[in-house]
Amino acid sequence: MKAHQLREQFINFFVTKHGHKRINGASLIPENDPTVLFTTAGMHPLVPYLLGEKHPQGTRLVDVQKCVRTDDIDEVGDTRHLTFFEMMGNWSLGDYFKEDAVKMSYEFLTAPVENGGIGLDPKRLSVSCFEGDKDAPKDEEAASTWESLGFRRAKDGEPLAGGLIYFYGKKENWWGPAGQTGPCGPDTEMFYDTGKDKCSQCDAKGVSCDCGKFVEIWNDVFMQYEKQEDGNFKPLAQQNVDTGLGFERALAILNGVETPFETELFIDALKKIRELSGLKNESEFAESQRIIADHIRAATFILGDPYGIAPSNTDQGYVLRRLIRRAIRHGKKIGIKESFTAEVAKIYIEYYKNVYPELDQFAEKIVNELEKEEEKFSKTILQGEKEFEKLLPNLMRGKNPMLPGRVAFKLYDTYGFPIEMTQELAKENGISVDMEEYEKAFEKHQELSRAGAEKKFAGGLADHSEQTTKLHTATHLLHEALRKVLGTHVEQKGSNITVDRLRFDFSHPDKMTDEQIKQVEDIVNEQIKRELDVTCEEMSLEEARKHGAMGLFESKYGETVKVYKIGDFSIEVCGGPHVKNTRELGGFKIQKEQSSSSGIRRIKGIIG
Ligand code: SER
């Protein structure tokens, strides 16, 4: 089955057989949710409707949504994890619930293609359901529906096989919320037997074994709870269904190949990668080939999103940079000499442009940004390698040569040379790296830069009086309001506060219109009127990023940072101090909007 056929087959099944309305997939960058960086699932753009708002298209929806998930970026390279993927989904917004959802899924999976399904052999399917805990009961309803379709409950110790129902806890059979709070609930997952041999864990673990014998293809989530800030699960007034069928995996299964990388989605890009590197076949440096193919595809889609993300050191731009740089590292590893990321991206643009016309629309930007980033990173790498080579003669003298961790750290700290590259170079030369010492040097550096960051921040604040504290909180509100009105390309470029006013510099190409200024003021004033609590939490920078916090400093990986939240409105990495509640600000007004430098605007504002 071709990719476009599969998308259409899915949509048509739900539209014609079960009365769903097709909706357009949303942007990869979530619009109204500061708690995550990317759209990670099809349900994401639908959160307001899962919470009870009325959807203009009704209560039964279906779509194909592009998604990015980067929590497991280090796992990409195996055969199943993808950072970018498409998710096919159907939704019930307070319409049908468990029984119908399960039956529809089963029908689509097993009905012959000519009857609208995808014709999988039912004997190769097994499923899992939620076993129950303090927050929600065992999902008897989903399980008995599966029983009515011919499945039976797996007995204790029964060998893994098709046709069985397994029960697991929250880790396996609960989905959401996508951010820290929001709709979530128990789910039932469907697995397909790839025909591979069982591993030694399969029988003990059942379908939850992730060796690749049974692969998860579809997840029906029964969104009947809303997770609260305090960690409690509040029942939702409306019982929803949210399903996600992994497009790439399904396509692989339907084409009888083991991994998405063997499907039409990746074939040409992988060919190009081999052509550029001189590798002869798929199995040579398979992992590097897959990493490059996956990461450049994700980078192409992120750069091709209307939101205008470019590589940077914060938020989505930081993830994008990591993806591109990891691809380049592996490109080097497999012997690609020239700049290549844009070449691979062009193949994806060509392949996907009919389904995702935005890639065509932004083709030039995609290519330019990749070339720029590759050039930047190549310089870093060259310099790092040169420094490494200078060290070699001395190192090679010993019997069991080992690169001291502090030296590896210096390469990273001074030249931005990634530790992974140091390790690779060292390995090639039969040298080990003292990683323990490296970690220590890294940690010490973090402490110092934390202290530095606080100082730097204090530098931006004239004093810590009540008035400047208020202005500081107003700055966070302004920052977020600007992003809401102008777009998420708005990033803080500088802040300066005196007792009289705030001054905020940010990236934006044009002069703001009077209307935009008014909108921003209104949004800030609304948050003041809403009397939002300001709270502070400490977490690792990675966690902060995951929570979607905007970042002030170019903090380093692994650092612990303070994250300030203003109600549900703003979340930002910051040293503080802030007021306790936005009502203390009284009101907000923009006095001036002017240019600061090329591509940077400056706002002066007052409160009271
Ligand atoms: N939200 C669920 C998932 O991402 C089902 O769509 O798996």
pLDDT of residue 44: 85
Range 437-445 average pLDDT: 86
pLDDT of residue 450: 55
Kindly list the strands in the beta sheet with 534-540, ordered across the sheet, starting from the edge strand earlier in the chain.
534-540, 560-566, 570-573
pLDDT of residue 31: 65
> Which of 192-206, 279-293, 569-583 is predicted least confidently?
569-583
The Cα-based distances of 435 to 110, 222, 392, 406, 408 in angstroms read 51, 45, 18, 9, 9
0.95 cut: is pTM over it? no
Cα(90) to ligand 1 centroid in Å equals 10
Residue to mutate (ligand 1; options 46, 171, 175; most atoms within 8 A of CB): 175
3-state secondary structure of 505: strand
Cα(263) to ligand 1 centroid in Å equals 23
- Cis amide prior to 177 (ω within 30 degrees): yes
List pLDDT tens digits, range 220-244: 999 999 998 888 999 998 999 999 9
The count of C-alpha atoms lying within 13 angstroms of the C-alpha of 174, restricted to the half-sphere facing its C-beta, is 21
The Cα-based distances of 528 to 283, 497, 522, 524 in angstroms read 59, 19, 10, 6
Q: What is the CA radius of gyration of the chain?
A: 26
Ligand 1 contacts (CB < 6 A) are 41-43, 89, 175, 219, 221, 242-244
Cα(180) to ligand 1 centroid in Å equals 16
Question: Is the per-residue pLDDT at 458 higher than 60?
Answer: no
pLDDT of residue 220: 98
What the block records as the tokens of 97 is: 């619930």
Cα(177) to ligand 1 centroid in Å equals 10
Residue to mutate (ligand 1; options 14, 87, 172, 224; most atoms within 8 A of CB): 87
Question: Is the per-residue pLDDT at 260 higher than 90?
Answer: yes
From the CA of 41, give the closest atom in ligand 1: 4
From the CA of 87, give the closest atom in ligand 1: 6
Residue 234's CB: how many other CB atoms inside 10 A? Answer: 10
In angstroms, the CA 180 to CA 126 distance is 31
Closest Cα to atom 2 of ligand 1: 244
Cα(189) to ligand 1 centroid in Å equals 10
Where are any strands of DSSP class E within 349-460?
402-403, 432-433
Phi and psi angles of residue 222, each rounded to the nearest 5 degrees, phi first: -105, 95
List pLDDT tens digits, range 510-556: 999 999 999 999 999 999 999 999 998 888 777 888 888 886 444 44
> Which of 142-156, 191-205, 224-238, 557-571 is predicted least confidently?
557-571
Cα(154) to ligand 1 centroid in Å equals 24
Domains of the chain, earliest start first = 3-261 (3.30.930.10), 263-377 (no CATH), 396-458 (no CATH), 466-607 (3.30.980.10)
Summary mean pLDDT of the chain = 89
Asked whether the beta carbons of 93 and 238 are under 8 A apart, the reply is: yes
